[in-house]
A and B are shown apart, each in its own frame.
Chain A
Amino acid sequence: MDLLQTIGGYLFTDIRMAAPVLLAGLGLLLMNWSGLLNIGAEGIMLISALAAVVGSHFFGSVWMGLLLAMLAGAVFGLLFAVLTVTLRANQTVVGAALNILGLSLSTTLNRVFFGIETTVTKVDAFQVWEIPLLSKIPLIGRAFFAQMPIVYIAFLLVPLIHYFLFKTKPGLNLRSVGENPRVADTLGINVYRTQYLATIVGSMIIAVGGAFLSTGLLNFFAEDMVAGRGYIALAAVIFGKYRPTGIMFAAMIFMAGNVVSNVLQVAGVGIPYTFLTMIPYILTIIALTIFASRAVAPASLGRPYKRG
C-alpha cells in the first residue's frame, strides 16, 4: 500500500509538472503544422507567467490572471506572425528575439509593478479540483482526478487537438499549409490567414502553460522562472513526432526526470543537487539525439511562403 502511494505520488507530480510543457508543446504544434518554426515559446511563457501574476494581483482572480496571460501570449504571437509571415523575417531569429524580449520585458515589468524587494509578491494560485469518487481510485486517482483545472485543460486538449488536426476539414487545411503552402494556395486556402490564426491561437495555448507556472505550480513570479521549459517543449514536439499524444508522452517522460531529480535530492544521495537538476535536460538531449532524425516534420516547416 505504501509503495502504491509513493508511485501514485510520483505520477501526480509528473502529470502536474508535465502540464506546462505539454501546453507549450501543443501550442507549438499548431504553429508547426502551419509551417512556422517558433523557438520563442520560452519568451511567451515568461511574459504570460508575469501577466498571470499581474492579473491575479490587480483583479483578485486567478482566472483574470489567466485571461491576461493569454492576451499577452496573443500579442507575442501576433508580433511573431507579422514579422515572419507578412515581412518574411527569419523565423529562428525572430523566435530568439521573442525569448530575449520575454525575459527582459518580464523582468523589467515585474520590477515596475512589484518593486525590487527581497520578498516576492504572492498571489492566489489555482485551487485543486478534486473529482469525487474518481479521485479515490488507488494509484491513479489523485494523479488524474485531483489536479488543478489547467492540468485538466492541458490533457483534454490532447484528444481535442488530435481530432482537429486529423479528423476535421480545417485541420486538413492547416496541415496542407504546413506541408506545402503553394498547394494550399492553389486550392483556395488563405495561407497567411491560416498562419496568423495558428500562431495566435498557438501562442495563447503556450501562454496558458506560462500562467500555470506562476499561478499553479508556484504562486508568485520569479525572474527567468520558465527555466528552459519552452525549449523542452520544442524538443517534446519533435520527440512526439508532431502528434498531440506523442507530445503528451514526451512531456511526461522529460518531466519524470524532474520528479526523479527531486526525489533523489530529498533522499539525500551523495550527488550534488546541481547535477540532479540536470536530469530532465539530459534526458531531452539524449531523446533528441536518438529520435530527432526519424521525426517527420511538416515539409515546409520554417520556410517563408511568398505568393505568386
Chain B
Amino acid sequence: MSVILEMENICKQFPGVLANDRVCFSVKKGEVHALLGENGAGKSTLMNILCGLYKPTSGEIRLEGELVQFSSARDAMELGIGMVHQHFMLVPTMTVTENCLIGDKEGGSIKLDRKEAGQRLKELAERYGMEIDPDAIVGTLSVGEMQRVEIIKALFRGAKILILDEPTAVLTPQEARALFKMIRALTDNQFTVIFISHKLDEVKEISDRVTVLRLGAVVGTHDIAQCSIEELARLMVGREIIFDVVERQHPVGDILLEVNNLSLHRLHSHESNKLLDDLSFEIHEGEILGIAGVDGNGQAELVECLTGIRKASSGDAIYQEKDLLHLSTRDIMSHDVSHIPQDRQKTGLVMPMTLVENFALQDYYKTSFGKRGFLNWTSVEERSSKLIQDFSIKTPSAYELAQNLSGGNQQKVVAAREISREPKLLIAMHPTRGLDVGAVEYIHNQLIDQRDKGVGIMLVSTELEEIMRLSDRIIVLYEGRAMGCVRPSETTIEEMGLMMGGRTLDEIRNGRVKEAPVENMVM
C-alpha cells in the first residue's frame, strides 16, 4: 500500500493551548487508520486541520506526495478529503438529496437537478451495499441512517479519504457493526478511512494501523495486530488502567423511590406517540439503578419529571410518602434529593459566575447561607474553599469563573455541590460525559462512596461500560419504554445492545428474535 496522505510537524496554537504539537501523521491508501486519544488529546483539531476548517499554525500537508494548502473545507473536499463530523452536518428540514447538493458547484447550470442527483446517490449507495431514499427528509431518519447519509454525502462529493469522528458514539452496538461492514466495503474499494475514537475495542476491531495522540502530541503509530488492548490503553492515558468490576458486596436497603406507570405525552400528539410510556421501577437505599439507552430515548424526560422540571401526564413517583410528580423542583430538592444535570455547562453551572456563586446556587435560600435575604459571603466562601479542597478541584481560586475551568473540574464542581448536600436520592445524568479517564474515575468513586453510605442513585448514561460497571440493576429505555431490567452480572453487551435497539428482554430471552436485524437495516 502506498502512502496517500502525510501530515508533517503540524502545530496548532489556540489562545492558551497548544492543541497540536509537531504532529506527524501518515496514512496509506486503502487502510483504516485509527486516531486514538482521550478527550482533548488533539484528535479533532488535527482532523479539522485536515479537512480545511482550521489553519495550522505551522506544518505541512502532503497529498499523494504533493504539498497542499487548504483555505476552506471546499478546498479539502475538492482534493478528496471528506469528514463525517461527530455532530452531523445535516439540515434536518431538507431531503437527503438537497443535503448532498449544498455547496455543489458541478455543472455550469444554476438549476437544481434533484432527479439526476438522487439517481446518482442511489447508484453510489448500492455500490457499497447501502440502501437509500434520496427524497427522505433527513429529520425523519434515525441516527444511524443520518450517519449513512453523511458518508454518502462525502462519497458523492468525491471523497477518497473519509474521516469519521467518533462515529459510534451515537450508535447501538448493532448499528456500529453495520457501520464497520460499510467501512470494510469502502476500504475494499480503495477508499481510505481515518477513524477517530477513544474506544479501545473498536479501534482494535476495525483498524489496520493506529496513531495514538496524547496531550496534543503523537505517542506512536503501530500496526494494530501488534498491539493488545491493554497496550493501547497505556499508550493513550500514559499509565496502566485497571478494568475492574466494582465490588457489589453491600446490603441494599428499603425502597427509597417507587415509580408507578409514569407516562409523558408529547405536546399536541396522539396517545401512541409518548415520550415516556408506562414506566415502573423502584430504587432502594444504597443501590445504583442504571438507566441505559441511546441518547434521546426518554432519559432526559424521565429525569425532568422526577426533578419537577416537567409535568408528567400520569403515574406517580412515591418518595418519603410524597409524590414527586406533584412537587415543585424546590420542594423535591429540599427533601434530600440531589440532581447532577446532563449538561454541566448549560444547566449544571452558570458559566460566567464564580465558583463561590455556583456553589451557593442550590441552597442559597437556607439560613446557613445567610439571613433575611442577605448572603453571608464569608461563610459561603469558607464552604466553597472546603469543597474545592475535598473534591480536589483544580482552580486558581474560589473566585475563578466556572467557564475557565476544564470540563473535568467543572463536573467536579457540580458533583461537589450536589453531593455535599448529603442527599438520600441522587439523580445523576451523564456524570462523566466528555471527561478524561482520570476525572471519570474520580466521579465514579464519588458515586460508589455515596452508594456505600446508603444513598439511592439513579445513574443515567449512554456509556455502556460505565453503566455495567457501576449499576446494581439496569433499565434500558427505548422510545420512552422500558425494554427490560437486568443485573449487570446476568446480561451481556449483546443483550444490552439489542434492548437499546428496541427489542424487549422478553423477546430476546424467549428466543423470539434470534438475530440482530443488522443485515436488512435499510435507509
Contacts and interface: CB of A to CB of B under 8 A. Distances in A.
Given A188-B74, A308-B54, A183 B110 contact: no
Interface string A140-174: 00000000000000000000000000111111110
B102 interface: yes
Interface in B62-96: 72-75, 77, 83, 85, 89-94
Given A188-B75, A308-B54, A176 B111 contact: no
B245 to A, nearest CB: 41
Contacts of B92: 299
Contacts of A171: 112
B179 interface: no
B31 interface: no
Contact of A308 (B53, B77, B111): B53
Nearest to B110: A168
A299 B139 CA distance: 12
A271 interface: no
Interface string A163-202: 0001111111101100110111111111000000000000
B110 A176 contact: no
A189 B110 contact: no
B112 A296 contact: no
A183 B73 contact: no
Contacts of A185: 53, 73
A164 to B, nearest CB: 9
Nearest to A187: B103
A308 B72 CA distance: 11
B101 A172 contact: yes
A186 to B, nearest CB: 5
B103 A296 contact: no
A168 B111 contact: yes
B106 to A, nearest CB: 9
Nearest to B90: A183
A167 B103 CA distance: 14
Given A179-B93, A183-B89, A183-B90, A189 B102 contact: yes
Given A179-B94, A184-B102, A308-B53, A169 B112 contact: yes
Contacts of A175: 91, 94
A296 to B, nearest CB: 7
Contact of A180 (B91, B98, B111): B91
Nearest to A182: B89
A22 B77 CA distance: 40
B94 A173 contact: no
B343 interface: no
Question: Which of B85, B89, B90, B105 is most buried by chain A, counting CB atoms within 10 A of its CB?
Answer: B89
Contacts of A188: 72-75, 77, 103
A299 B93 contact: yes
Nearest to B93: A179
B111 A187 contact: no
B73 A172 contact: no
A173 B102 contact: yes
Contacts of A187: 73-74, 77, 89, 102-103, 157
Contact of B91 (A169, A176, A308): A176
Nearest to A185: B73
A187 to B, nearest CB: 3
Q: Is the interface of B mostly helix, strand, loop or mixed?
A: loop
B112 A186 contact: no
Nearest to A178: B91
Contact of A189 (B90, B103, B112): B103
A207 to B, nearest CB: 25
Contacts of A170: 110
A166 B110 CA distance: 11
Nearest to B105: A169
Nearest to A298: B93
Interface string A71-95: 0000000000000000000000000
A156 to B, nearest CB: 19
B104 interface: yes
B53 A169 contact: no
Contacts of B93: 179, 296, 299
Contacts of A186: 51, 53, 73, 83, 85, 89
Given A187-B102, A188-B103, A172 B83 contact: no
A185 B71 CA distance: 12
Contacts of B111: 167-169
A173 B112 CA distance: 11
A186 B72 CA distance: 8
Contact of B98 (A172, A190, A296): A172
A20 to B, nearest CB: 29
B141 to A, nearest CB: 15
A182 B353 CA distance: 29
Nearest to A163: B111
A189 B104 CA distance: 9
B396 to A, nearest CB: 27
Contacts of B75: 188
Contacts of B103: 173, 176, 184, 187-189
Contacts of B110: 168-170
Contact of A172 (B89, B112, B157): B112
Interface string B21-62: 000000000000000000000000000000101100000000
A176 B102 contact: yes
Given A167-B111, A171-B112, A188-B73, A183 B102 contact: yes
Contacts of A173: 102-103
Contacts of B91: 175-176, 179-180, 183, 299
A183 B102 CA distance: 9
A175 B92 CA distance: 12
Chain A CB count within 10 A is highest, among B54, B112, B157, for B112
B102 A168 contact: no
B416 to A, nearest CB: 32
Contacts of B89: 180, 182-183, 186-187
A130 to B, nearest CB: 35
Interface string A283-308: 00000000000001001000000001
12 contacts: A167-B111, A172-B98, A172-B101, A172-B112, A173-B102, A180-B91, A183-B89, A187-B157, A188-B75, A188-B77, A190-B72, A299-B92
Considering the complex of A and B, which 3 residue pairs feature the smallest CB-CB distances, nearest first?
Answer: A188-B74, A187-B103, A179-B91
Interface of B: 51, 53-54, 72-75, 77, 83, 85, 89-94, 98, 101-105, 110-112, 157
Interface of A: 166-173, 175-176, 179-180, 182-190, 296, 299, 308
Given A172-B101, A186-B73, A187-B102, 7 more contacts: A167-B111, A169-B112, A179-B91, A179-B93, A187-B73, A188-B75, A296-B93
